[in-house]
Structures are given as structure tokens and as C-alpha cells.
Amino acid sequence: MKTTIANLRKGEKAIIKDFDADIIPLKLLEMGCLPGNTVQLLQIAPFGDPLYLNVNGSHLAIRIETAREIEVDCITK
Amino acid sequence: MIQDILTYLTLAFAIVFLVKKFFFKKKKTNKNCGEDCNCQ
Amino acid sequence: MTKQNINVALIGNPNTGKTSVFNQLTGLNQQVGNYPGITVEKKVGFCKLAHNINANVIDLPGTYSLNASSADESVVIELLLNKNDKLFPDVIVVVSEVENLKRNLLLFTQIKDLEIPTILVINMIDRMKLKGISLDIPFLEEHLKTKIVLVSSRKNIGIEELKTAITTYKTITTEACLNASSIDDDYFNTLRKTFPNQSLYKLWLVITQDVNFADLNRKTLENESFTKSKSELKKLQQKETIKRYQFINDTLKTGLNIDSSIATDFRSKLDRILTHKVWGYLIFFVILFGIFQSIFEWSKIPMDFIDSSFASLSTAASENMPPGAFTNLIAQGIIPGIGGILMFIPQITFLFLFISILEESGYMSRVVFLMDKIMRRFGLSGKSVVPLISGTACAIPAIMATRNIENWKERLITILVTPLTTCSARLPVYAIIIGLVIPDKYLLGILNLQGLTLMLLYLIGFGMAILSAYILNKVLQLNCKTFFVVEMPNYKLPMFKNVMITVVEKTKAFVFGAGKIILAISVVLWFLASNGPSKDFRNAETIITSKTENATLSKVEIENKIAAYKLEKSYIGLMGKTIEPAISPLGYDWKIGVAIISSFAAREVFVGTLATIYSVGGSDNDNTIRNRMKEEINPETDQKIFNFASGISLLLFYAFAMQCISTLAVTKKETNSWKWPLGQLVFMSSFAYIVALIAYQLLK
């Protein structure tokens, strides 16, 4: 099974892999969510959604169904 | 007499103001919709 | 020597302190929108740069890029593409923030492509040390091909340098800093050949989005043979974004250095508490509760003061001016009318004060994050919280604030239900009725009953909004691709100057926007109340004197009876009497009926109307309006008109009825259809009638 942002644990960091550009809104790309950039899951809202991320230095929140579309490689410490 | 004239003047002014405000507003049509759906 | 006037456009991502820079440049020399409820579209301020150069500074809505994904952002593009707009900028100032420079520069590189002189402001440099950030300015200026000004709008650093840079804007190169067209050379070459006189990037913007600009129409582009499919265009836009980020990353590798060991972790600690599953909601609720309690508690004294001052002013006017119709108009129409407006300044000021503090501090985004999942159950978005909360000030800017909701269905539902939240125009109505029918007592020693009732009314408004959203979500059949991105800005201490400017601006908009309407309506009402069509009106003195010949009444009592009789036979009395059968099941008399008719266009007129009616109807001028209303008795039932049952019924009627023409106009504008505002009007008003009817019949 592929790993996505939705699978990350709180505090975990990962590198964004290639994703299907048609599904991801352009705005997210413009905020720095691009292949090769690092992403860290900072907080999970009550009831498990949305997710609060640090992407490439930008702090933003996205819904879990968007997060499921963004494949990542975990950085193992 | 002068009091009556002033009263009617004020009244006329107020009515003109209200009519202008509510019936002759500039109308702009603008398509301000999100891009993900079609709105009429 | 001629005076020179230049246009300066301020552009930047949200949360970069762009508005602070704007405020520092222009102070209070600002002009905002054209609505009584303040538009957010374009703000223009004036700034003297040198003794012969003045600038019109345009504060544009915050945007992340020139690819508009919301209505708010297309305002920016439309201005930048239209050379014929009289506000078309001579120079653009892109405001960025030192901590998010990477993301901020994306917009900058796009703007650079427009071939307009561009200055880059890096704001919040006072935080650089704290965050361990250092910048290589000469390197950045060379690679970004711009003039960089370091600014701290909070500490007032760099504003003079910015003014100098704007004055000398002609020295800045208009060359782009990267070649975006290399993402698809063939395509862009064809474009260049077909439209040799147009800027390539402008063409690209027009092709990819729903905008036109003066000398180039979308339609003519679409008919050309080189059109690409939507999906192909989107792929290209992504390629463009990636390319721009590559350039930015490369540039910042040398230009920006962050020593992360220095950065403090205040933010994540606060985030953990404010978005906690228990504490988060508790804190949010306590903040809301505190706001509503203080609005009522703190404004009590100034409100009473204004109310009684205007009562004595009215007496003084009628005693000291020559008797006649105009004196009466001033003493009974204009003075109480103005008093009725000014009385609500304290409450409105406090409300806007709290809202702007919540927005400035960055807390609002945490609320969005916290509430999204819950709001989605009702067909709303977490971002709907902001319109719903600012709807407590005024539905008009609140409906405009829905523009950043990406999903059209969620946005439409938010627009439709926002007018149910308790706006500040309802506050005067609530305040006066609560004051009349709810005892000024304390529950458990601390909770003021009147404040509690007010809080309850706000909750009912929210509750109804949420419930309607739930129903609408089930009923409306719209399929939208949903996505949601919200920036979580860093926490900031709200800047006193920014908060104050917002408060002053919004209060002014209420006083001069809504106030003018209220005043004009009071003048008309006074006239309708002091003139009548029939003989009965003119002969009121003789009729009453002959009726009361046998009774022993004092002179004042007879005068009061005459005045009351006159009012009943006046134009307005007849209007009120006509609708009385429809509203008496709700517990209202014809005087309240008059107030309801007149407040149809704008609900805040209700209090002014009652003030006018009760001023005309009584001869003892030194009594305040509130006392007169309190003593008002229904001749048929011998009960007070404003009793608990009719009071609650009135409160509920005003909570739900759609009585605001401006809101209907804004809904029409934002949804581009008459269907939705008409639906709001019919549904809300009939619902209000039914609820008020049930409440009165149960309580009486």
C-alpha cells in the first residue's frame, strides 16, 4: 500500500513524491506542496480531520481526502 | 410660514435621498463564482 | 512645476501585514467601498511622497498567486490586466513576510512578468533575529531584478525608505526575473506570433482564467486554432508553478539563511492548546461568551448617557426655538432620529473591536481548523465560521467574506444562512426590547439576565443558521469537487493602530451609511405621524375636548389624549391600523406595526421609528423614549404593550425576518441570480411570522 500524508503520525516528516496533478488543486501547489519538498504533520484536528501541515516552510491545513491523494516517502530518523 | 417651507424642503430632501438609495442603485453584473462548479 | 500623482498597488499573500503597511503609508486618509456595510473589494488611501508627488495607494485583497481560484483574487487580476482602469498602477509594491519568503516570492515572480515596475517589501524584519534568519539583500536584488525594502510595519521601520523607493520607481527595471514561457516553447511561440503586440504573460493569464481585459477579449482567443484543453492548460499551470519554485529555491539557497536552532517554539505550544479536542472548544466558547457579555455590560453606561442627553436636547430645542412645524420636526423627528443612531455606537464599536482582534491575532484560522469537520456535517466549511462570526457585525461584509470558500456549494449555503446570524442592526432592537421586558437581575450573582438573553438570541441565530444549512445541504443538488486549503498564520499581538483603524472605519460606515437612511426615514415618518387625511385629524382638539367635558382631567392629561388621538388618525396611524389584524395575534399593536413596516428596508430603523412615534405622541418631552415605551398600555386588554409575551415574540420575529435590502442586494451580486435572495426573503420572513405567532400564543 502506498503511503500518503494521511498515513503520517503526528510530528512525522516526509518527502512529497510525484502525484496525479489533476486531482490536487493548483492553490495547494502554489503554497509549496510540490514533489521533492518536505512535509511535516503538525496537528490533527479533533475528529481526525483536517490535518495541519508544515509544507516547505508554509503552515497550512488541508482535508483528509486531499491528504490521501498526496503520496510521500517517510523520513526515518 | 418659513417653518412650513423648511419642513417641506427637509421632507423632499429625505424622500429624494431614500428613493435614490433604494431604487436607483448602480447595478453590476459580475461572475463571481468558484471555478469548480457552474453557477448560473 | 506640476503636481504628480502616481498609482501604487499593494499586493501580497494574506497574513503578510500588507494592511499594516497600507495603514502606515496612508494613516486615516483612506476611502473604502460604497456599501453601508463596508466592502472589502478595493481600499484606496492617499500618501504624500515628496512635496510635489502624491500617491493613490490601492490595497488589494490578499492573494497567493495570479491564478485566481476565488472571486476575491480575480479583483486583483482584473485591475492588473486593465490598463484603462483609472487605478491601474504605475508601480506595484509586493509585500512579503520574512518567515514565509519562499511562498511569498511565487506571487512576486508572476507580478514581475507583467512588466510593471515592482518593489519588493520584506515585512516583519523585527522577527528575523528571533527566528535566526539572515538575508543577502544585494544578491536577492540582483537575481529578483528589483528594489528590496526591509520593513517592520509593527515597529514603523523602513516606511520612509519605502516612500523613497516608490518616488524613484522609474529606475526599476521591468524585466522579468525568469523565463516562464520555456515550459512549452512551441505553444508560447505560436502565441507570440499571433498577438505580437501583447505581453505574453498577460495572454497566458487571460487564456487560463475567466477574466477579460480591455483590449483583449477571451472569446477571440478561444476561437484560435492553438487552443488547449482544460486539463492540458492545468498541467501547464502546474509546470509553471514548479518552474517558478525551482527558481525561487535556487535564489534563496544563497539569499536566505535560517539558523533553525535559534527559532523558538511558542507557536506549536499554543497550537496544541487552542486546537485541543477539549480545551480548544472550551476556549472558543468562553471567548464568544465573554464577547457578548461585555458588549452588553460595557456599553450600558454610554448608551444610557446618549439616550438621556438626546431626550434633554429635544426638550431644549422645543423650548428655545420659535414654535411651528419646523421646530417640531427638529425636536420630534430629527433629534430623536440622530439619538437613535448614535445610541448604538458603543455596542458596535465593541463588537468590531473583538472581531478585529480575533482576526489580527491569527486565532480565527485555528477556529477554522477546529470547526471544519463539524461544519461539514451541516454542508458548511470550516471557513464558514468566519462569515458566521463576522455576520454578527453585518451580513454584507460577511457574505463577501465567503469568497475564500473554494467549494461553490459550501459557499452558496454559507451565503444563504449568514443573514440568520445576529447582525449589529438587530442589536438596537434587541437592546431596547430586552431592556423593557427582561428584568435587570443577576443569576447566581454574576450572570446578568439581560446579557444572558442576548447571548441566547445570538445562539438561536447561529442555531437556525446551522439548521437551515443542514436542510439546504440535503435539498440542494449540486455536485462540486471539494477541496480546502487554509493557511495557519503565526500568532501575532494585534497592532493597536490596525485594530483602531478597522473599528473607526466600520463604526463610521454604520453611522454615515446606515445612519443617513435611518435619519431620512425618521423625517418621513415624523411627517406621516404629524399629518392626517381626515377631518378627524384636524379637529382632534374639539373632538377630545367635547368627549372629556364631564370628566375631571388635568390639562396635561387632556393634551396627551389629543396627541394620542391625532397619532391614531394620522397617515402612519392609518397604515398601522390596516395591518393590525395581521399582527395582533403576535401580540403587537398598530404602533409596533408601523415600526415593522418602516424597518422592512433596514431593521435598525425599528428603534428610530418607535422613538419618533413616541415623541410625537407625548407632550412631556423630558421623559426618555424607553420610559414612554415601558408605560405604554393596550387600551383593549389593559395590559402593558411591551410585556414578556409580546417582547419575546418581537425578539424572535426580528431574529428570523429578512429585513435588509442591502443584504438581498449582496446575495444577488454574489450568487448572480435573483432566485437566492428571493428565497431568503420569503423563507425567512414567513418563518419569522410563524415562530413569533407560536411564541406569543404560548406565553400570553
Note the residue count of chain A: 77
Distance CA B1, CA B6 (A): 9
Contact C572, C590 (CB under 8 A): no
Is the pLDDT at C408 greater than 70? The verdict is yes
Q: pLDDT category, C665, cuts 50, 70, 90?
A: confident
Q: pLDDT category, C370, cuts 50, 70, 90?
A: very high
Can you tell me the ipTM of this complex?
0.93
Contact assignment for C326 to B4 by CB distance below 8 Å:
yes
Contact C566, C532 (CB under 8 A): yes
Looking at residue B24, its pLDDT comes to: 57
Looking at residue C460, its pLDDT comes to: 93
* % chain C with pLDDT above 90: 16
Contact C540, C598 (CB under 8 A): no
Residues of C marked as binding for Mg(2+)?
A: 23, 26-27
Q: pLDDT category, B39, cuts 50, 70, 90?
A: very low
Mean pLDDT of C339-352: 78
Distance CA C675, CA C659 (A): 17
Minimal CA separation from A68 to chain C, in Å: 12
C407 CB neighbour count, 10 Å cutoff: 23
Mean pLDDT of C333-358: 81
CATH 3.40.50.300-classified regions of chain C: 1-263
Q: pLDDT category, C631, cuts 50, 70, 90?
A: confident
Going by their DSSP bridges, the two strands C91-97 and C43-50 should be labelled as: unpaired
**Interchain contact B34–C (C-beta under 8 A):** yes
When mean pLDDT is compared across C4-8, C290-294, C567-571, the lowest value belongs to C290-294
Mean pLDDT of B15-29: 65
C-alpha pair distances (Å), C504 with each of C38, C58, C300:
12, 19, 20
When mean pLDDT is compared across C190-194, C244-248, C580-584, the lowest value belongs to C190-194
Contact assignment for B34 to C322 by CB distance below 8 Å:
no
Contact assignment for C480 to B39 by CB distance below 8 Å:
no
Contact C453, C434 (CB under 8 A): yes
3-state secondary structure of C125: helix
Residues of C marked as binding?
A: 12-19, 23, 26-27, 37-41, 59-62, 123-126
Could you report the per-residue pLDDT of C456-504, keeping only the tens digit for each? 998 899 899 999 999 999 988 777 666 788 888 888 888 888 888 888 8
Could you report the per-residue pLDDT of A40-71, keeping only the tens digit for each? 999 899 888 899 999 888 889 999 988 888 88
Looking at residue C49, its pLDDT comes to: 84
C-alpha pair distances (Å), C595 with each of C454, C580, C592, C626:
21, 12, 5, 15
C-alpha pair distances (Å), C633 with each of A65, C160, C545, C592, C608:
61, 66, 22, 13, 20
Is the pLDDT at C586 greater than 60? The verdict is yes
**Interchain contact A10–C (C-beta under 8 A):** no
Q: Based on the structure, what is the number of domains in chain A?
A: 1
* % chain C with pLDDT above 70: 89
Could you report the per-residue pLDDT of C22-72, keeping only the tens digit for each? 888 887 666 654 322 233 456 788 888 888 888 889 888 888 888 876 666
| Dihedral of the alpha carbons of C522, C524, C526, C529, in degrees to the nearest 10 | -130
C698 CB neighbour count, 10 Å cutoff: 10
Looking at residue C692, its pLDDT comes to: 95
The fold of C1-263 is Rossmann fold (3.40.50)
Distance CA C595, CA C110 (A): 54
Contact assignment for A52 to C275 by CB distance below 8 Å:
yes
Could you report the per-residue pLDDT of C278-330, keeping only the tens digit for each? 999 999 989 887 887 777 678 778 888 887 898 889 889 888 888 888 888 88
Looking at residue C224, its pLDDT comes to: 58
Looking at residue C400, its pLDDT comes to: 76
Looking at residue C211, its pLDDT comes to: 54
Mean pLDDT of C415-420: 94
Q: Among C94, C54, C58, C102, which residue's Cα sits nearest to residue C78?
A: C58
Q: For residue A50, say if its preceding peptide bond is cis, omega within 30 degrees of 0.
A: yes
Contact C666, C40 (CB under 8 A): no
Backbone angles phi, psi at C11, to 5 degrees: -130, 145
* Domain range enclosing A34: 5-74
Backbone angles phi, psi at C300, to 5 degrees: -60, -50
Contact assignment for C71 to B33 by CB distance below 8 Å:
yes
- From C408, C483, C527, residue closest to B39, measured CB to CB: C408
- From A42, A46, A48, residue closest to C268, measured CB to CB: A42
Looking at residue C226, its pLDDT comes to: 59
Q: Domain containing A27 — which CATH number? A: 2.30.30.90
Query: In this structure, what C-alpha cell is assigned to residue B1?
Result: 410660514
Residue C256's DSSP bridge partners are: C135
Query: In this structure, what C-alpha cell is assigned to residue C18?
Result: 500588507
